[in-house]
Amino acid sequence: MVCRMTDGRRWLMAGAVLLCSPALTFLPVQAAPGPAAPSAATSVTPPALPGSPAGPAKATPPASSPHPPRKTLHDRLVEAEKALAKAGNEKQAGEISDRAEGLRSRALTGSVQMLISDSHDSLEKHDFQQAQDDLTAAITIQPDQSVLYRQRAAIRLAAGDSNGAIADLGVELQADPGDPMAWGMLADAEHDRHEPEAALQAFHQMLLLNPKSPDSDKQLKTLEQARDGQQD
């Protein structure tokens, strides 16, 4: 699928990732093969020692190695978020970020993905209200999927509703505080509300989570200039 957005807001691409991220395949963990047990036809009963009771000796069952617990979706997401903070370059960070987005969207149902697609179609027509309504319907279906609130926040931010965007981002960040995209969006929303200190705090948090974020130096300079200009 080719996803394309024409709106200038870079955060609207977050919704495109929800549809374009390849599904991750979880392969079952297979136990390593152990030594084969001797068959009844070839087994030999050792002779009884003097003073030992007659009869075949009881075989000692082999010690079983318990399988490690299977990682949950949340565990995998936390691992990806930790790896993102340690990425060595921008390309590596982008790949890890895409993997994290795939994990965030993995539990979305087919009907919710259709609503996200409808929302993108509305955004292509710059119909922000319909795009927001589609995301609200998606949230009604799966309110436990906090990434949907982040996507609705992107739409609200593009439409100029900074307060509504911040409310949605609060839901996402409470559920997933390691989401750098949500922190970056929060920085933009606070900047739009002329709250430079809050914007810088949110942006610094984003940099902690994704130090290799594209154009971060330029964005940080813009936010610092906004803060310094307000202090004059």
Other CB atoms within a 10 A radius of the CB of residue 34 amount to 10
Residue range 125-140, pLDDT digits in tens? 999 999 999 999 999 9
Indicate if the pLDDT at residue 84 is higher than 50. yes
Average pLDDT, the chain: 80
Q: Which domains does the chain have, with CATH numbers?
A: 10-18+71-231 (1.25.40.10)
Structure tokens at 8: 């200038």
CA distances from 173 to 146, 155, 158, 179 (A): 8, 17, 19, 7
Residue range 167-209, pLDDT digits in tens? 999 999 999 999 999 999 999 999 999 999 999 999 999 999 9
CA distances from 212 to 13, 31, 94, 177, 228 (A): 18, 38, 8, 18, 25
Indicate if the pLDDT at residue 82 is higher than 70. yes
Q: What is the pLDDT of residue 184?
A: 95
Query: Which stretch of 16-20, 101-105, 181-185, 200-204 has the lowest confidence by average pLDDT?
Result: 16-20
Q: CA-to-CA distance for 152 and 58, rounded, in angstroms?
A: 66
Indicate if the pLDDT at residue 30 is higher than 60. no
